[in-house]
Amino acid sequence: QVQLVESGGDLVQPGGSLRLSCVLSGSIFRLTGMYWYRQAPGKQRELVASVSSGNATNYADSVKGRFTISRDNAKSTVYLQMSHLQPDDTAIYYCHSRLRRTMGPDIVGWGQGTAVTVPS
C-alpha cells in the first residue's frame, strides 16, 4: 500500500557530506514512523536512524554526531543528512516506513535503496 523512493546516493570522498531523501507515496506520512537502514555486501542490514511521527529521533552509535534524520510532513519526505563520511559508511541505504495498527497488520513499506560509496 505504500511506495517509497530513495534518492541522493553518490560516491563521496572521506570527510565529505551527502543528503539522502525518501518520498512516501500515500496519505499516511504524518502518522508513520520513518527509518533509514543500510546494508553492506556480506553484512546484515542495520538500522541507522529513525524518526517517529512525533519527531523523536534515534541513531546508531556508529553515526551519532555525524548523521541527522529529519522529516517534512508537507512533502511526505524523510531526509538523512550525512557528514564526516567514512569508508565504513559505504552501503546501500534503504528507507523504511511503519504505521502501527491496533486492528490488522501494520502498514509497512521499503524503498529500493540508494548507494553510498566512500572509498578508502
Confidence at residue 26, expressed as pLDDT on a 0 to 100 scale:
77
pLDDT digits (tens, 9 = 90+) for 26-37: 788 888 999 999
Q: How many whole angstroms separate alpha carbon 30 and alpha carbon 8?
A: 22
pLDDT digits (tens, 9 = 90+) for 40-85: 989 999 999 999 999 999 999 999 999 999 999 999 999 999 999 9
Confidence at residue 32, expressed as pLDDT on a 0 to 100 scale:
92
Are 91 and 38 in contact, with CB atoms under 8 Å apart?
yes
Confidence at residue 28, expressed as pLDDT on a 0 to 100 scale:
83
